[in-house]
Amino acid sequence: MPTSTGPRSHRRPSPARGAFLALGVALPVATAVAIWLIGDHHTPQYTTSLFGEEGDAAVTLKARLGTALFGLAVIQLLLALWMYGRLPGLTAASRPVRITHRVLGWGAFLLSVPIAYHCVRTYGVETTDTRVHLHSIAGCALYGAFVAKVLVVRSRHLPGWLLPAAGGALFVAIGLLWYSAALWALNDYEVPGL
């Protein structure tokens, strides 16, 4: 067991670490709030197409793309657990697994953009019922969590616990989005609890 040079309460955090932590919180929150404000002040355009599909066909396409996104999120979670040696029976993953995690993460982000663009442009932020309110909040949180994860991965000044927290928030946001929209659309516009 390592010995301590003194009580932890006497150590002062460096100003740089405090500034990075503030930025690591402020930028993701600002991103989520900005998306909310854009969607809240946007006039919905219900005829917006998604890859040439409109109306119910666009909703079905978005549900399928959202399901693919959720599938990628599950793979990302498993890869992250493997990278950090948290899967039973497996040691920490090698470099190719880390590269795969990064490539799939960017792929998931790129897949999310047309879905989000269509949602914001077609509907904006809606709070008319529990399902759409939850969906709107989760959509904004998704991009806030993505910004947080990128900042944490790129910084050596932020606490290590922020990486699983940001990754977990990202996974939860994608799961809530899938549950509140994709599952709803693919399940005859019904979802348990909403």
Predicted local distance difference test score (pLDDT) of residue 25? 82
How far apart CA 79 and CA 164 sit, in angstroms, is 12
Is 41 part of a structural domain of the chain?
Answer: no
Predicted local distance difference test score (pLDDT) of residue 6? 44
Is residue 106 a contact partner of residue 76, using CB atoms and an 8 Å limit? no
- pTM to 2 decimals? 0.86
How far apart CA 138 and CA 86 sit, in angstroms, is 27
> Does the pLDDT at position 24 exceed 90?
no
Is 20 part of a structural domain of the chain?
Answer: no
Is 6 part of a structural domain of the chain?
Answer: no
> Does the pLDDT at position 5 exceed 60?
no
Mean pLDDT of all residues in 107-134: 95
How far apart CA 171 and CA 166 sit, in angstroms, is 9
Is 48 part of a structural domain of the chain?
Answer: no
How far apart CA 155 and CA 21 sit, in angstroms, is 10
Is 155 part of a structural domain of the chain?
Answer: yes
Is 36 part of a structural domain of the chain?
Answer: no
Predicted local distance difference test score (pLDDT) of residue 12? 58
How far apart CA 102 and CA 38 sit, in angstroms, is 29
Predicted local distance difference test score (pLDDT) of residue 11? 52
Is 108 part of a structural domain of the chain?
Answer: yes
45 versus 8: which is more confidently predicted?
A: 45
**CA distances from residue 177 to 39, 93, 100, 114, 150 in whole angstroms, order as listed:** 16, 29, 24, 14, 20
> For the chain, what is the domain count?
1
Predicted confidence (pLDDT) per residue in 144-193, tens digit: 999 999 988 888 877 888 889 999 999 999 999 999 999 999 999 999 99
Q: Would you mind telling me the total number of residues written for the chain in this entry?
A: 194
Predicted local distance difference test score (pLDDT) of residue 160? 82
Predicted local distance difference test score (pLDDT) of residue 191? 92
How far apart CA 78 and CA 155 sit, in angstroms, is 23
Predicted local distance difference test score (pLDDT) of residue 7? 45
Average of per-residue pLDDT values in the chain: 89
194, 189, 186, 193: which is closest to 68 by C-alpha?
A: 186
Query: What percentage of residues in the chain have a pLDDT greater than 90?
Result: 72
**CA distances from residue 139 to 4, 13, 21, 41, 72 in whole angstroms, order as listed:** 44, 34, 24, 16, 17
Of the chain, the end-to-end C-alpha distance in Å amounts to 50
Helical residues (DSSP H) of 41-94, grouped into ranges:
55-83
List phi, psi (to 5°) of 105. -65, -45
> Does the pLDDT at position 92 exceed 90?
no
Domain ranges, residue 118? 56-186
Is residue 171 a contact partner of residue 178, using CB atoms and an 8 Å limit? no
